[in-house]
Amino acid sequence: MDQATVVSAVDGLQNQVPGKFPKNLPVDEADGNHVILDLGDGNYALYAHMKPGSVRVHAGETVTPGRVVGLVGNSGNTIAPHLHFQLMDRPSSLGANGLPYEINSFEVIGKTPGTEAFDAAESNGTPLLIGALAASDRVTNAMPLDQLIISFAP
- pLDDT confidence tier of residue 81, bands split at 50, 70 and 90: confident
108 & 68 share domain: no
| DSSP class per residue in 4-73 | EEEEEEE--PPBPPTTSPPSS--GGGTT-EEEEEEEETTEEEEEEEEPTT-----TT-EE-TT-----BB
**Does one domain contain both 35 and 109?**
no
Asked whether the predicted pLDDT for residue 154 surpasses 80, the reply is no
Domain span at 114: 103-151
Looking at the structure, tell me whether residues 18 and 55 fall in a common domain. yes
Domain stop point among 99, 119, 135: 99
Residue 115 and residue 48 share a domain: no
Residues 15 and 75 grouped into a single domain: yes
pTM for this structure?
Answer: 0.87
User: Could you tell me the CA-to-CA distances from 53 to 32, 44, 74 in Å, in that order?
Assistant: 12, 23, 12
pLDDT tens profile 88-107: 999 999 999 999 999 989 99
13: pLDDT confidence band, cut at 50, 70 and 90?
A: very high
If asked whether residues 82 and 112 sit together in one domain, one would say no
CATH code (residue 41) = 2.70.70.10
* Total count of domains within the chain: 2
* Residue 22 and residue 73 in one domain: yes
Whether residues 67 and 94 share a domain: the answer is yes
| Model confidence pLDDT, tens digit, residues 15-71 | 998 888 899 999 999 999 999 999 999 999 999 999 999 999 999 999 999 899 999
Going by the DSSP 8-state scheme, the letter that residue 146 receives in this structure is T
Same domain flag for 139 and 85 = no
